[in-house]
Structure 1
Amino acid sequence: MIGQRTIRIGAGAGFAGDRIEPAVELVEKGELDFLVFECLAERTIALAQSERRAQPSAGFDPMLLERMRRVLPAARARGVRIVTNAGAANPLGAAEAVAALARELGLTSLKIAAVLGDDVLDVVTAKPLPLIDRAGTTADLAAIVSANAYLGAGPIADGLAQGADVVITGRVGDPALFVGPLVHAFGWSLDDPSLIGRATIIGHLLECAGQLTGGYFADAGRKTVPGLARLGFPLAEVKNDASAVLTKVAGSGGHLSLAASKEQLLYEILDPAAYYQADVIADLRTVRLHEEAPDRIAFSGGGGNPRPETLKVSIGYDDGFIGEGQISYAGPGALPRAELAIEVVRERLAMIGVPLDDARFDLMGIDAVDRTERGRPPREVRARVCVRTATAELARRVGAEVEALYTNGPFGGGGVTRSVRPVVAVASALIPADAVSPCVVIVEV
């Protein structure tokens, strides 16, 4: 246990492909106790499970080792402990890979904790479970490739209590990545819903990293964020009562504003009175945020109710293939030529037997997103055809027909791209919390 002092915990990543430089800045200048890398989206773990099936040593975030290479030496020198869900489908393999990297870097006496137990494929395939995001049950899904339960903060705190310098998890609730270190540092009970609820809200505010410091807040001409190219990531100064100040490294880019904090507070929240996590049902209704100073937002209030009896499970399943082709038209008549190209490909695909019941025909820059009234004719348009099919061969025909427009369609098309990719879709269900048995495995260097 670190004790009763203020704990400084930083957000080093908000998604798998996030930038590394702000995390390095946090480690070197943030005077942190803990650094968290949140790298696991809903579909990411299903894709990782597919990779692990093809190669058993794979299945963790491919950027994990580069992140560790950049931050681990400085973190060790400064006593910063790292927590991440970048283990994805293979936390133990990730821990072993980080251990090998540590040896390469000449780091010694390092403990890496792998949190296991979120893989509940056996539970989900044992009997049909109702889906919570659509009608039907798990029996209605095509080939299920993964099922991972959202674990809580307990095993993360356990790994830290065992002396881990790095804790690597698979699927856990995003806020739990921050709650675990705070539970360990302050000796909180996970059975205290008020404290855990407030800590969960702090984690929720931090979990998307650069969103809080203005990255997703910025809107040219409407909401100005200074130094966006040098965007710094946030950290929280947390006290024993789970009050906190949200801030960032002095001199870093971005702006930690009251408005951006309010936006992040409500991000992905369906019911402010009941934000369900494995450890608590957090209540955001009494949260108070105020600007203590520039780039310093004080957080207080909030609470929670006892943990739910069920855990959410993210289920990945194979759902066919997507075939895509794109082609550009420019200059006078660009729009009508692109429209003609779309109609030609639509008719040709129907002629060769490609089903079009799940297809998109878009004019990018015209109607791919915004389908409101058009303005003056554009000078350049990119036509996009995208069809979901049952087989890879049918998907291949989509791009082939778009490419054939070079000489078999309107004149002047160029810059064709084509692709075929398998679809790993995601559904959600609930399982009893006691059906999961998390555990921690320590890998030592």
Structure 2
Amino acid sequence: MNERSFRIGVGAGFAGDRLQPADDLAREGDLDAMAFECLAERTIGVAQQARREGTGTGFDSRILRRFAGTLPHLLPAGAVVTTNAGAADPEAAAAATRELVDDLGLIATVAAVVGDDVLDLLDLKSARVLGTDDTLWDIRDRLVSANAYIGAESLIHGLEQGADIIIAGRCSDAALFVAPLAHHFGWSLDDLGATANASLVGHLLECAGQLTGGYFADRRRKQIRDPWNIGFPMADVEADGSAVYSKLATTGGVLDRRTVLEQLLYEIDDPTAYKTPDVTIDFAGVEITDLGDDRVRVFGARPAGRPESLKVSVGVRDGFLAVAEIAYSGTDCVERAGLAASIVAQRWERVHGRDAGQLSVSYVGLDATRPWWTDSDRRPSEVRLRMSVRTFERDAAVTLCDEVESLYTNGPFGGGGVTTSIKETVGIVSTLIDRDAVATKVLLP
């Protein structure tokens, strides 16, 4: 076993994350590895649809911008890189990355991990949609994609074969971190204790700035230093699986017991049985020690078995989403916005012969994020009427946008700033597949 500690950092916590903090960390962090987590559940369905319709690359092309700023610092230092930005087409992402590496004058072996696309492997009549009594057969005409959450095994194989950059599709977030750690320390994934602690590292780092105060901050109780300059975190991991988390001293934000606790519980249903493809984790006994100066030691994840099935994200065509907004200001702006909504709803029924119950109505500045809030004494000086509809009929989507825009001269006075949008949507449902049915492999040039 390699006893040398291993420093791993995170370069992105989601597809639209900032570039500069990753550049800073790659340049100044003295890293052994950097992981870029870029894939949400819905993202891969959208990418699969774009690939099949020829309207997109199938992978998150922004990864090339991330690599352009970080690889010149990481690769010469011998650091390895993992990412799930391959989305629906890891092979194409790997090919584009090889071109970028050449253009940068660097040398690197780039591998793609494939096999998470399981649409052709599913028995639609028996694959049950989780949380329902339906099967995928019931929505077979709407299916776009089906990608299983894979674990770290193939990523580790890629590193063992000499890859410097591993690009996967729908692997779990934690696997991006487990693979470099397991490869460095020589941990077997059958060692569930080591895998649990490596997955804990991944879980804490995967959302990048969320661990260093980004989602933590407010203007009153939880103020942080220089929130405009939040740094991404890194972890110094020891051979026993313990880790000390920190950030660059030149960056803003905060990393302490509070931020670690918030991230530890992020997206957790049962803290004693958090399922990943590699291990089910019990977080109940995790010890968090605040060392001060934005350094926190965390250790103590325990294994609770390994799931026999893998979760599958299934993309389904979900029709059109039309959103139309108009702003009202001044005295009685809420009442005028309500009148505007009533006009559109009545025309929706009486002129267009549609059910007004289809329409979603909210007032930005009043109840758009908290529709249950009923404080009628509040009187904002301005409000934005937002009306939307989800429909499989494009004509209905266009009609809503037209009706809201017509409020300029056919609605209450004082309306302005109309915006409209119509987009095809991909929804996500989930099912399970036996882990033995999923065969992944590493593609090297």
TM-score of the pair, normalised by structure 2? 0.96
CA contact (8 A) 1:213 1:260 kept: yes
Aligned to 2:137: 139
Deviations 1:26-70 (A, max 9, x none): 111111000010010110000000110122871101311111111
Choose from 422, 425, 429 the match for 1:423: 425
Change (3 A) 1:191 1:439: same
Q: 1:355 to 1:161 in 2, by over 3 A?
A: farther
1:111 and 1:25 map into 2 onto residues whose CA distance is 23
Q: CA deviation at 1:99?
A: 0.8
Q: Percent identity of the aligned residues?
A: 48
Structure 2 CA distance for partners of 1:97 and 1:355, relative to 1, 3 Å: farther
- Pairing of 1:269-284 with structure 2 (within 5 A): 269-284=268-283
| Equivalent of residue 120 in structure 2, options 114, 119, 122 | 122
TM-superposed deviation, 1:376? 3.4
**How far apart, in 1, do the equivalents of 2:381 and 2:56 lie?**
49
SS in 1 for 2:304: strand
User: Secondary structure at the residue paired with 1:328?
Assistant: strand
For residue 378 of structure 1, what is the amino acid of its counterpart? Answer: P
1:69 and 2:68 are equivalent in the alignment: yes
348-357 vs 188-197, which moves further: 348-357
Report whether the alignment pairs 1:95 with 2:94: yes
Question: For residue 432 of structure 1, what is the aligned residue in structure 2?
Answer: 434
Q: 2:382: which partner in 1?
A: 380
TM-align CA RMSD = 1.4
Deviation at 1:275, TM superposition (A): 0.8
For residue 368 of structure 1, what is the aligned residue in structure 2?
368
**C-alpha distance 57-163 of structure 1, shift in aligned 2 (>3 A):** farther
Distance (Å, rounded) in 2 between the aligned partners of 1:342 and 1:62: 40
1:18 alignment counterpart: 17
On the 8 A contact 1:396/1:419 being kept in 2, the answer is no
- The alignment status of 1:305 with 2:304, answered yes or no, reads yes
Do the aligned residues in 1 keep the contact of 2:324 with 2:400 (CA within 8 Å)? yes
Matched with 1:219 is: 218
Q: CA deviation at 1:149?
A: 0.2
Preserved CA contact (<8 Å) 2:124 2:137? no
Do 2:124 and 2:136's aligned partners in 1 also have CA atoms closer than 8 Å? Answer: no
> Which residue of 1 is the match for residue 152 of structure 2?
153
Contact 2:148 2:170 in 1 (8 A): yes
4+ long deviations beyond 3 Å: 125-128, 354-358
Please state whether the residue corresponding to 2:122 is helix, strand or coil.
helix
Q: CA deviation at 1:335?
A: 1.5
Equivalent residues in 2 for 1:339-378, closer than 5 Å: 339-351=338-350, 352-370=352-370, 371-378=373-380
Deviation, 1:353, is: 2.7
SS of residue matched to 2:92: helix
TM-score norm. by structure 1 comes to: 0.96
For 1:211 and 1:18, the matched residues in 2 are separated by 11
Letter in 2 for 1:368: A
**Aligned counterparts of 2:357 and 2:118: Cα–Cα separation in 1:** 34
1:192 is displaced (CA, Å) by 0.9
**Matched length:** 441
Q: Does the CA-based 8 Å contact 2:198-2:241 persist in structure 1?
A: yes
1:228-274 Cα distance to aligned partner (Å, 9 max, x none): 10100100100111111011112211110101101110111111111
2:235 corresponding residue in structure 1? 236
Per the TM alignment, residue 126 of structure 1 is displaced from its structure 2 partner at its CA by 4.6
What's the CA shift for 1:332? 2.1
Give the drift of 1:180: 0.7
Partner Cα distance (2:231, 2:66) in 1: 16
Of the three residues 395, 398, 406, the one matched with 1:396 is: 398
1:36 counterpart = 2:38: no
The SS at the match of 1:16 is coil
Match of 2:408 among 406, 420, 425: 406
Which stretches in structure 1 are left out of the alignment for 5+ residues? none
Shift of 1:369: 1.8
